[in-house]
Amino acid sequence: MARRPLPRILSSGNASITRSREFARTAADNATDVLQPLITITRGLRLLAGAGRQKWAATPKDKRGPALFLVAACVLAFALMPYGSLIALVTVMAAAAWKGRERTPVKTGPDEAETARLRSLYEALVPYFSVADDPGPLFSHGGDWEKAFSGYEFDGDRRLTRLQITYPAYFTDSEAASRARIERLLHAKSGRGREYRFAWDEEGNHLVMTVLGALPTSIGAQRFVTAPGETVLGFTDGDAVQRTVPVHDGDTTRDVPPVVWRTGARSTEPHLLAIGQPGSGTTTLLRSIALQALQHGDILIVDGSGTGEYACLTGRDGVLAVECGLTGALATLEWAAHETERRLIAANRARQAGHPLPDDIRRPLWILLDRPGFLGHLAAADGRPDPQELLQVPLRHGRAAGVTVVLTDQFDSLDTLGEPVRTHCRARVVLGHCSREQVESVLGAEPHTTPATDVPPGRGYARLGTGPVLRLQVPATPDPYDEETGEAQRQTVLGLLPERHTAVEAAVPAGAGVPDPAPPRTATVAVEGLAVTD
């Protein structure tokens, strides 16, 4: 059968129909805006009437008579009152307008998408939190997820930001492998690319998963509000420590929670070991520590990599030596060992005589070594002793002598670290992207957070002694002589550096000056009778 052609109005009048529909829709919207007060009052009157009917239905029959009498008395009072009818009308209209206003509905539970995500997560946890002979399993396929998830929060993208799980008592939460399996599953199902913290309550059989925010990376080197003997390694989460320090972040000043490392005679972690990947920020950490140590002490720097990252410190007041070569490094470390012994003898004699400590041993001495494993390889090839052997005396007796040792190296040189370094460097830092196993090999404990995929320089973990593993972001302390350093950061670091030695300034020809942007590549610094040439 041949199809009949469409009417002309339907085949050729599409544009006119579309314009008519748009005009009608616009007119309806304008009418709604104009009549919005009337609509609101009408809705309020309907709600008030419904509330009145419910109140009347809930009133017992023996009390309905007195209620009617009370209502009639009120109506009569308004009728006899001057302008009473107008007041009553205005009151009813105001109550109707308030009752009929548009209010944002209060969310009392998860929506459909959030419920689907929670149910999917519940089903994924069933094989881990259930056994075959459990008569009343908390986790079962097709079970009630609301009994297992006692608390949950979502962000604007309907992704979990917090989840509290109640698990059965027979789950082996005391085993690290069992906990790691659950954490990996929750990390994968809740969304990768974010850091999660897992808090296990073995006593109450609860697990709380929380999404952590990013640590601030815009805080640079500055004078931190600390006491002598305290060094700010970086910044961490607000609920991880019980202290904050004021810092300058751009043009503002705010309080942030720091990771404070305490050194001195009463410190239980007198020495620090930092391990990281190439470009992870270990050199930045060492520069930050050097700038803070120069406020109250003297420093020796041994740059095993020989890249000149510490040239800005050469010849500064308080900087006894900056060494890059093997010969100078061995001579400097040998002097540091003798200096430690001298301080111990002087302190012992002063205590035996009942005198205060001499002034020449009160000022702390810091030994900063960057990549000692590389120097150890050069020493072995040249038939010389490993520089780490010269650190045994400062590491073992440095706390009593006021000597602090800080070592930084990379993961590929972790096996070359000697036993004194592993034993006495109880403050540990791991920087850069690394697995949980690598973090545990250095810190001695796994972090309670999942490693981040995108790690900025200076980001990692820290552990002081037997304390908890803390997230860490090192303050930005770039090399001021690096061409890629911004002008603002360059001036900030240069402003924190001490003045140059008089001897170094005298070695420069008259009129040449000692400009900061071009430090001398060769300098000789006398260290109490020991000439160290760089």
Tens digit of each residue's pLDDT (9 = 90 or more) over 417-442:
889 999 999 999 999 988 888 999 99
Instruction: State the pLDDT at residue 41.
Output: 81
88 occurs within a structural domain: no
Q: Which residue has the tokens 């009593």?
A: 400
The pLDDT confidence band at residue 403, using thresholds 50, 70 and 90, is very high
Same domain, 131 and 265: no
Percent of the chain surpassing pLDDT 70: 86
pLDDT band at 374 (very low <50, low <70, confident <90, very high): confident
Q: Looking at 212, 245, 279, which one is the last position of a domain?
A: 212
Both 288 and 421 in a single domain?
yes
Q: Give yes or no: residues 275 and 158 share one domain.
A: no
Question: Domain ends where: 185, 212, 239?
Answer: 212
CATH assignment at residue 285? 3.40.50.300
Mean pLDDT of the 319-331 span: 92
Residues 130 and 243 grouped into a single domain:
no
The tokens describing 205, both together, are: 């059989």
Contact 236, 259 (CB under 8 A): yes
Find out whether 237 and 257 touch, Cβ atoms under 8 Å.
Answer: yes
Mean pLDDT of 366-371: 94
Number of neighbours of residue 222 by Cβ within 10 angstroms: 20
Query: d(Cα 63, Cα 56) in Å, to the nearest integer?
Result: 10
Location of structure tokens 């085949």: 11
Number of domains in the chain: 2
Annotated binding residues for ATP, written as ranges, equal 276-283
Same domain for 249 and 391, yes or no, is yes
Q: Which of 212, 238, 258 is the last residue of a domain?
A: 212
Residue 369: per-residue pLDDT = 95
Please report, in range form, the residues annotated as the binding site. Answer: 276-283
Q: What percent of the chain has pLDDT over 90?
A: 48
Cα radius of gyration rounded to whole Å, the chain: 37
Instruction: pLDDT band for 18, please (50, 70, 90 cuts).
Output: low
Specify the pLDDT at position 526: 39
CA distances from 170 to 136, 167, 173, 202, 325 (A): 13, 9, 8, 11, 59
From CA 336, how far away is CA 367, in angstroms rounded?
Answer: 8
pLDDT digits (tens, 9 = 90+) for 61-97: 888 888 888 888 888 887 888 877 788 788 888 887 8
Instruction: Write out the H or E segment, with its range, that includes residue 341.
Output: helix 326-353
| 501 touches 494 (CB < 8 A) | no
Q: What CA–CA distance (Å, rounded) separates 175 from 24?
A: 69
**Higher local confidence (pLDDT), 459 or 19:** 459
Query: In whole angstroms, what is the distance from residue 366 CA to residue 322 CA?
Result: 12
CB-based contact 30:23 (threshold 8 Å): no
What's the mean pLDDT in 140-154? 90
The answer to whether the beta carbons of residues 300 and 336 sit under 8 Å apart is: yes
Query: Do 337 and 419 sit in the same domain of this protein?
Result: yes
> Over the stretch 179-205, which tens digit does the pLDDT of each residue have?
989 999 999 888 877 889 999 999 999
55 within domain boundaries: no
Give the torsion through C-alpha atoms of 48, 53, 58, 64, to 10 deg. 110
What string of DSSP letters covers 449-514?
BPPPSS--TTEEEEEETTS--EEEE--B---TT-TTS-HHHHHHHHHHSPPBPHHHHHTSPTTT--
Q: Average per-residue pLDDT in the chain?
A: 84
Q: Would the pLDDT of 529 be above 50?
A: no
Taking the C-alpha atoms of residue 92 and residue 46, their distance in angstroms, rounded to an integer, is 12
Same domain, 337 and 189: no
Which residues form the domain of 200?
Answer: 112-212
Q: Is 434 part of any domain?
A: yes
**285 & 250 share domain:** yes
Going by pLDDT thresholds of 50, 70 and 90, the confidence category of residue 528 is: very low
pLDDT higher than threshold 60 for residue 324: yes
Residues 243 and 167 in one domain: no
Cα(182)–Cα(257) distance, rounded to whole angstroms?
29
Quick one: 327 and 461 in the same domain? Answer: yes
274 and 186, same structural domain?
no
Nearest-angstrom CA–CA distance, 446 and 438: 9
Look at residue 477 and tell me if it is in a domain. yes
pLDDT for the residue numbered 498? 92
Residue 280 located in a structural domain: yes
Q: What is the mean pLDDT of residues 46-57?
A: 83
196 and 273 part of one domain: no
Q: Which residues contact 351 (CB under 8 A, 6 or more apart)?
A: none
DSSP category for residue 274: E
Residue 291 pLDDT greater than 90, yes or no: yes
What pLDDT does residue 107 have? 59
- Residue 531 covered by a domain: no
- 321 touches 501 (CB < 8 A): no
* CA 230 from centre of chain: 21
Of 294, 282, 287, 335, give the one whose Cα is nearest residue 311. 287
Domain membership flag for residue 89: no
Does 234 fall in a domain?
yes
Which pLDDT score is estimated for 87?
A: 82
Paired tokens of 121: 């997560």
Could you tell me the end-to-end alpha-carbon distance of the chain, in angstroms, rounded to an integer?
Answer: 102
Beta strands 319-323 and 298-303: pairing type? parallel
